[in-house]
A and B are shown apart, each in its own frame.
Chain A
């Protein structure tokens, strides 16, 4: 276990009556790109502050490179942070900004400007040394903040919603660049965001947080396709939920009674008891409309209530004929699909349904 960059053990932190972190434990492998994803107030930024040393948690431990860093000041940690508002030094040139950390480490000015130059080239801003921060655009300042944080060669780079202030196009471009830079330097990156598309696009590992707890953690594919909890299924992408009750369990196959009929589902790795309340989570693209087959579970018929064009496809809000409360959102073809008001038969491929515990 020597290649753990960060090891957070049972960290709890409260602000007055608000619990920002509630017994959080996680490990971040060295050299990976990890994303903390969650809505505001989920504790993701607090967790980043605890790792960066800006906040000492009320209980629990933080190990960085296997050393206890819980009470160590940010200056003495092998971490640096890229702040949301960039926090560049407005009175210094770009070169002095990037070289600041090296200056604090007592590195001579020649070596400093060499390394600052290399860092600026890495982020695509070679030659901007003599400019001042206010002469740069938002995206360029973002790169300077990144170069400044990387210049001191941290073991872990912390990024606090680094792309939050950029427009969508620039944001998608910076995502790709961040990922490329991370691969090039090999430093562990921990990136906080509330944008699930960003998290999926950029992360080797996605950590989904809600209300101070870790809801799910894994590769983007695993978290999207097999979310561990109801919250994860709803937050990471879109999902339709169908409540049900387990009737019988035979190995990894369970029979679930739902308002849309009795369904036989596979639930590998998860243990459900007969009589237990469950929720079936289905992604819009996993619904099968007006088609039958051996591997397709029929879900009955539904009326199209609303259609939204999403470029590559349409998204339809449906109303189930037998169950008014079930309003699934299904992906429909780009053209030639059902119209608003028409009735369709709904199905889903057996393996695509995710069975989750009903948490109330």
Chain B
């Protein structure tokens, strides 16, 4: 093949344009979080960590950050547990209308977060559950459980069923089969679905916005900050949110990597 570098130029430009389109907003956000001035707009007057310090010293923001972590961890653990148990039930037992049950479990994936949030708001109102972090956490379980179920269910094959059978044959009770054999075997899938849930819960705004009142999650707090106008502090906190999301995605990637290498 004869190399014609100029031929590749359009595709290189195209690739650059795509990556620019995707990453430029984030780069700008992060860059101006270091702005040594009062406005997150060009020109860049110099680099400073003062806005990060401001975030660190803002009690409401730090509280919201802690709330977000608590909601993300709590709702993800619940979503993984419920998703795992329903996947185990559907994969291992003869159930009536299995296909329908599976469809119903995964259906919430297709419903918009706004609809789920509104539905939960109305339901919680009717039942008398007040707006709170717990309510938002329940909302996150609703959106993440179908995902956890789908990931874990896809990893439950007949080969594992045979290994569980071997455990029962050797005298294991049902709970021992689940805790000593099934869950450890599915560890990569459980881990991946937990971190994916964490990522989604961490970023989620609309459900948290509808279902929290006094204690709020970080995206909701950032939204109320934005209402008083742009300032490099919002950039700084946005960068923190982005940074943590990146860490979660990297952890997830490492898990998938490890799994890929093993098989």
Tell me which residues from 159 to 201 in chain B have a Cβ below 8 Å from any Cβ of chain A: 159, 162-163, 165-173, 176, 181, 184-185, 187
With contact pairs A75-B172, A148-B170, A152-B171 given, residues A83 and B162 touching in the complex (Cβ less than 8 Å): yes
Assess the A91–B172 pair: CB atoms within 8 A: no
Q: Indicate if A80 sits at the interface (CB-CB under 8 A).
A: yes
Q: Which residues of B contact A80 (CB under 8 A)?
A: 169-170
Q: How far is the CA of A76 from the CA of B171 in the complex (A)?
A: 7
Q: Indicate if A89 sits at the interface (CB-CB under 8 A).
A: yes
Tell me which residues from 63 to 98 in chain A have a Cβ below 8 Å from any Cβ of chain B: 73-76, 79-81, 83, 85, 87-92
- Shortest Cβ distance from B159 into A: residue: A85
**A75 in complex: contacting residue of B159, B163, B173, B184, CB < 8 Å:** B173
Q: How far is the CA of A149 from the CA of B170 in the complex (A)?
A: 7
Q: Indicate if A298 sits at the interface (CB-CB under 8 A).
A: no
**A54 in complex: contacting residue of B163, B165, B170, CB < 8 Å:** B165
Assess the B166–A104 pair: CB atoms within 8 A: no
Assess the B166–A81 pair: CB atoms within 8 A: yes
Assess the B169–A52 pair: CB atoms within 8 A: yes
Min Cβ gap B77→A in Å is 21
Q: How far is the CA of A185 from the CA of B166 in the complex (A)?
A: 21
Assess the A75–B168 pair: CB atoms within 8 A: yes
- Shortest Cβ distance from A101 into B: residue: B170
Assess the A75–B187 pair: CB atoms within 8 A: no
Q: Which residues of A contact B173 (CB under 8 A)?
A: 75, 104
Min Cβ gap A16→B in Å is 14
Q: How far is the CA of A105 from the CA of B165 in the complex (A)?
A: 17
Assess the B163–A81 pair: CB atoms within 8 A: no
**B169 in complex: contacting residue of A74, A89, A91, A105, CB < 8 Å:** A74
Q: How far is the CA of A79 from the CA of B166 in the complex (A)?
A: 12
Assess the B165–A83 pair: CB atoms within 8 A: yes
With contact pairs A90-B185, A91-B184, A91-B185 given, residues A104 and B171 touching in the complex (Cβ less than 8 Å): yes
Q: Which residues of A contact B163 (CB under 8 A)?
A: 87-90
Assess the A75–B171 pair: CB atoms within 8 A: yes
Q: Indicate if A189 sits at the interface (CB-CB under 8 A).
A: no
- Shortest Cβ distance from B163 into A: residue: A87
Most buried by B among A87, A105, A134, A148: A87
Q: Which residues of A contact B184 (CB under 8 A)?
A: 89, 91-92
Q: Which residues of A contact B167 (CB under 8 A)?
A: 89, 100
Min Cβ gap A86→B in Å is 9
Q: How far is the CA of A91 from the CA of B166 in the complex (A)?
A: 14
Assess the A87–B171 pair: CB atoms within 8 A: no
What is the 8 Å Cβ interface bit string for chain A, positions 145-168, against chain B (1 contact, 0 not)? 000110010000000000000000
What is the 8 Å Cβ interface bit string for chain A, positions 41-73, against chain B (1 contact, 0 not)? 000000000001110000000000000000001
Q: Which residues of B contact A90 (CB under 8 A)?
A: 163, 185
- Shortest Cβ distance from A148 into B: residue: B170
Q: Which residues of B contact A83 (CB under 8 A)?
A: 162, 165-166
Min Cβ gap B163→A in Å is 5
Min Cβ gap A56→B in Å is 13
Assess the A105–B171 pair: CB atoms within 8 A: yes
Q: Which residues of B contact A152 (CB under 8 A)?
A: 170-171
Assess the B185–A87 pair: CB atoms within 8 A: no
Q: Which residues of B contact A89 (CB under 8 A)?
A: 163, 166-167, 181, 184-185
With contact pairs A89-B185, A91-B187 given, residues A74 and B168 touching in the complex (Cβ less than 8 Å): yes
Assess the A73–B170 pair: CB atoms within 8 A: no
**A87 in complex: contacting residue of B165, B172, B176, B187, CB < 8 Å:** B165
What is the 8 Å Cβ interface bit string for chain B, positions 121-137, against chain A (1 contact, 0 not)? 00000000000000000
- Shortest Cβ distance from B176 into A: residue: A104
Q: Which residues of B contact A92 (CB under 8 A)?
A: 184
Q: Which residues of A contact B169 (CB under 8 A)?
A: 52-54, 74-75, 79-81, 149
Q: Which residues of A contact B187 (CB under 8 A)?
A: 91
Q: How far is the CA of A277 from the CA of B236 in the complex (A)?
A: 96
Q: Which residues of A contact B262 (CB under 8 A)?
A: 134
Q: How far is the CA of A105 from the CA of B170 in the complex (A)?
A: 9
Q: Which residues of B contact A79 (CB under 8 A)?
A: 169
Most buried by A among B163, B169, B176, B187: B169
Q: A81-B169, A87-B165 are in contact. List 9 more A-B contacts (CB 8 A).
A: A73-B168, A76-B171, A87-B162, A87-B163, A87-B166, A91-B187, A104-B176, A134-B262, A152-B170
Interface residues of B (CB under 8 A from A): 159, 162-163, 165-173, 176, 181, 184-185, 187, 262
* A-B CB contact pairs (8 Å), 19 listed: A54-B165, A73-B168, A74-B168, A74-B169, A79-B169, A83-B162, A83-B166, A87-B166, A88-B163, A88-B166, A89-B185, A90-B163, A91-B187, A100-B170, A104-B172, A148-B170, A149-B170, A152-B170, A152-B171
